[in-house]
């Protein structure tokens, strides 16, 4: 049994950390610090669990910005 006594935030609580959050139904939302955790359309009041930091969505993991753009050749003639 875990000694962790922390609770996941609930609908109506204020977001403390920018991130991607999922509720009990698996719905994911991106929230910023100061936002209020929303209610779910089906569940109503629900708990939210942080799945990742919001900045992860914009990280260029394959570093495509370092690859030169290829010229597009129009094959229609």
pTM, full prediction: 0.63
Give yes or no for residue 68 having a pLDDT over 70. no
Contact 20, 54 (CB under 8 A): yes
Q: What value does the mean pLDDT take over residues 23-33?
A: 91
Q: What value does the mean pLDDT take over residues 58-63?
A: 49
User: Residue 42 is encoded by which pair of tokens?
Assistant: 């089906």
CA distance 58 to 55: 6
State residue 31 phi and psi, 5-degree precision: -125, 150
């Amino acid at each position: 049994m875990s000694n962790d006594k922390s609770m996941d935030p609930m609908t109506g609580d204020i977001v403390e950390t920018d991130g991607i959050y999922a509720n009990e139904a698996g719905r994911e939302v991106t929230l910023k610090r100061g936002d209020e955790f929303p209610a779910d359309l089906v569940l109503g009041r629900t708990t939210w669990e942080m799945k990742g930091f919001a900045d992860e969505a914009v990280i260029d993991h394959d570093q495509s910005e370092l690859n030169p753009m290829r010229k597009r050749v129009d094959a229609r003639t």
